[in-house]
Every structure is written in structure tokens, then in C-alpha cells.
Structure 1
Amino acid sequence: MGFFSGSSGGAVAPPPITRDRLVSIFEDNGWKYYIDNEGDLGGNWDDNQFYFLLRGEDGEILHIQSMWHMTPNIDRLEEVRSFIEQWHREHLWPKCYHRISDEGRIRVFCENTVDHELGATDAQLLQQIHCALGTATSFYDELSAAMGV
């Protein structure tokens, strides 16, 4: 048969992602985690909070969002903005941004999102999780050093 004949050649598609599969990956790696009151899977690495969310019509998108454990005062906003802009010029991941809380504190976030519409192996999910944890932690560490906190 030809390459584009539509035959799968006996290949089996990887399974869809689920929260239970993610929890199994966490348990296999000895990672501490929690499931919050909305059913979202979360965990802390280096005091930074991470959430592992399934998005999309069929929960096929793994969206990993994290929040820096520091909350600088609004007077440091330009430093934070400049650092984020410089990071994005030099790095592909993670997507980084900030929000201002009602108390005038700066909250800094990172995101890593991959669409697994056709399913994913555990190795693929673990790779995305490692990428999200590693790049976000690097970003937060470098931001901390740049701000002297």
C-alpha cells in the first residue's frame, strides 16, 4: 500500500489524556499533588503553584499553568514587564505574563499548552510536564535573581 493510502498499518492511536492518567504519572514519579474543590489537579514545585488542566471540547488540550510564589509590589511593575519581554525574546517557553491583584501586588504566571487531539502516550505527557516544570522554574529563578528577591 502507498504512504497516503489511509491504511494505519496496524498502528494503535495513543489513548486520550485524562486527569486519572496525569495522577498516575504523578504517583509513578513520587510527586505530591492535590485535587482542588473544582476537581483541578495541582501541585507545588519550589514553592510555585502549578495546575494541570484539561481544556478543549473533549479535554484534549493539556494546559499547565503556574504562579510565582512571590508577589512584588506595584512599584516594581516596570522591572517585571521588562524581564518578561526580555525572556520572550530569548526563549520559546513558557508563555509568561503578569496580573495586578486588587491589593496592588504583581502576580506572575507561566503557561505551557499542548493540543493532544489524537491522544498521547505517557512518555509524551511526561515530556510536556517536565518542559512546563523546568522552563517555568527557570523563569521564576531568573526573575527572582534579577529582582534580588
Structure 2
Amino acid sequence: MGFFTKSATGGGLAPLSKERIKATLDAREANYGEDNDGDIGGYWDGHLFYFFVTGRDGEYFQVRARWNRVIPMSEWWKMLDLINQWNTEKFWPKCYARQEKNNPEDPEPTVIGVYTEHNVDYEHGLTDEQLDQHLACAIATSGSFFDFLDEHYPEEAARAKAEYEKE
């Protein structure tokens, strides 16, 4: 079982932590922050990404991202078909949609929220290289999925990109 308990250099693997995530993001010169709950997040190409440490012992690393587009509920079935196509053909990331309110005062959901997740169990610890690989994989594959959706919703993509570039 040495594969799970030793790094390539022979030392023990270090546990997952928010500090290590921030150090990895710093090494990539990423622009990120922490919210009031201490969750780490940032924007890549206008899409919001969060980096969570979860599990009873903080052993699970989850990268979750939201596609930054406003898609009406009338597109629900088309969106589910696109997500199913991606999930059938690709390993990563896991993708899903949620019915959401665009305005808290709306009585019913009015838009589709589309998300990605990439989860890994690091119960036995991990190297800095593994953490960097996980971040890179989650961001890149989520970006690929978001580009895939943009191809199907070019007007919404152009509108969102114009807004993002203004900021």
C-alpha cells in the first residue's frame, strides 16, 4: 500500500487543507478570494469557481464551477440533452443543471443554472503536484464544457462575455 502513503520522494503525503489550496493558487498567480464562510473562490473567463475541502476529516477536494450565462427555463430540455451528451462522452467534469430564480422576488424558477464538479478523495494525503494537477484539470475541463455550451448558445455567451469584459 506504499502507493497511497508515500510520495515520489519517499516522504509521507501531506493532508489536504485550504492553506495548501491557496498556496497552489498563489503559485499559479491566480486571482481568488475567500467568502464569509471561508470558502475559496475566483473567476476564470467570467465563470465562478469554488474550491471546497469537505468530508468528516477534510479528505475530499471538490472544485465546483457555475457557467456564467442566463438561460431561460424554456431551454430546460435542450440543456439537459446537452449535459447528458457531455456526461456520456467525457470523463470530467460532472455536469448538472438546476432550476433557479433570476430574481429572488420571482415566484417560480426563471433561469437554468449550469454547474460542473470535479471531486477527488485524498484520505491518505497528496503531493503538491497532485493538488496542482487537480486544480488544472478541474478548471480546464470545466472551461471546455462551458465552451461547448457557448457553441450552442452563442448570443448568451457574447452578452455575458461583453459584461465580464466591462468589469
SS in 2 for 1:38: coil
CA-atom RMSD, angstroms? 1.7
Q: Deviation per CA, 1:15-71, whole angstroms, max 9, x where unpaired?
A: 001101111111111000000000000011010000000011111110110001002
Matched, 1:94 2:100: no
Deviation at 1:82, TM superposition (A): 0.8
1:120 alignment counterpart: 126
2:64 alignment counterpart: 65
Which is helix-richer, 1 or 2?
A: 2
134, 137, 145: which one aligns with 2:151 = 145
For residues 47-86 of structure 1, the aligned pairs below 5 Å read 47-86=46-85
1:111 alignment counterpart: 117
Aligned equivalents of 1:130 and 1:27: distance in 2?
13
Aligned equivalents of 2:146 and 2:101: distance in 1?
22
1:129 alignment counterpart: 135
SS in 2 for 1:92: coil
Q: Deviation per CA, 1:63-114, whole angstroms, max 9, x where unpaired?
A: 1100010020111111211100111111011000000113411000000000
Aligned equivalents of 2:149 and 2:118: distance in 1?
18
Aligned equivalents of 2:55 and 2:12: distance in 1?
19
Structure 1, unaligned stretches of length 5 or more?
none
Aligned equivalents of 1:145 and 1:108: distance in 2?
15
Identity of aligned residues (%): 34
Name the amino acid aligned to 1:47.
G
For residues 24-35 of structure 1, the aligned pairs below 5 Å read 24-35=23-34
Aligned equivalents of 2:96 and 2:53: distance in 1?
20
TM normalised by structure 1 equals 0.91
Query: Which aligned runs of 4 or more in structure 1 are off by greater than 4 angstroms?
Result: none
The answer on whether the counterparts of 1:79 and 1:147 sit within 8 Å (CA) in structure 2 is no
For residues 28-43 of structure 1, the aligned pairs below 5 Å read 28-43=27-42
